[in-house]
Homo-oligomer: A and B are copies of this chain.
Amino acid sequence: MRLSKRGEYGLRAMIALAEPADKSDAPQMMQIKEIALREQISTKFLEQILLTLKNAGLLHSKMGVGGGYYLARSAKEITLGQIFRVLDGPVAPIKCVSQMAYEPCGCPDEETCGLRLAMGDVRNAIADILDNTSLADVTKRQGAVRKKLGIK
């Protein structure tokens, strides 16, 4: 049940891009270097990850001087589940309960397989959280905790 480094870094980067830079709601553009420095990630590795996210349609980019990355949609419309699946594949712990990458497992009868029933519950619980949490939800929650603790 583990999130890979690619997944972790990708999620962190997306959250960073979702944080409102100023009062305006304008989508923020950031460069790889900038994100890498701030999140303490290898620049080259992050480059690869952001490119994957871009090719999946979650990010847009601008090349050349003054370029960078920005969210393809508003932070409200991008969920953690979307990002996770691009970088770490299906959410399901076992293929026979996967919605996006179903494959039969070895059990004689899937419908009555106890393991499958339990893992189905797990899959649903995970997907429920990941697919219903947007980047906006994450930054909002971060802000709320900060405020509560009296931190800038």
Contact = CB atoms under 8 A, between A and B. Distances in A.
Interface residues of A, number: 45
A112 B40 CA distance: 17
B133 A118 contact: yes
A63 interface: no
A108 to B, nearest CB: 8
The quantity of this chain's copies bound in the complex is 2
A145 B112 contact: yes
A121 B129 contact: yes
A139 B118 contact: no
A26 interface: no
Nearest to A9: B106
Interface string A132-152: 010000110110011001010
Given A1-B1, A106-B39, A129-B125, A115 B11 contact: yes
25 contacts: A3-B94, A8-B94, A11-B115, A12-B107, A12-B115, A15-B115, A40-B106, A109-B151, A111-B149, A112-B145, A112-B149, A112-B151, A114-B142, A117-B138, A117-B142, A117-B145, A118-B138, A121-B129, A121-B133, A122-B126, A122-B130, A125-B125, A125-B126, A125-B129, A126-B126
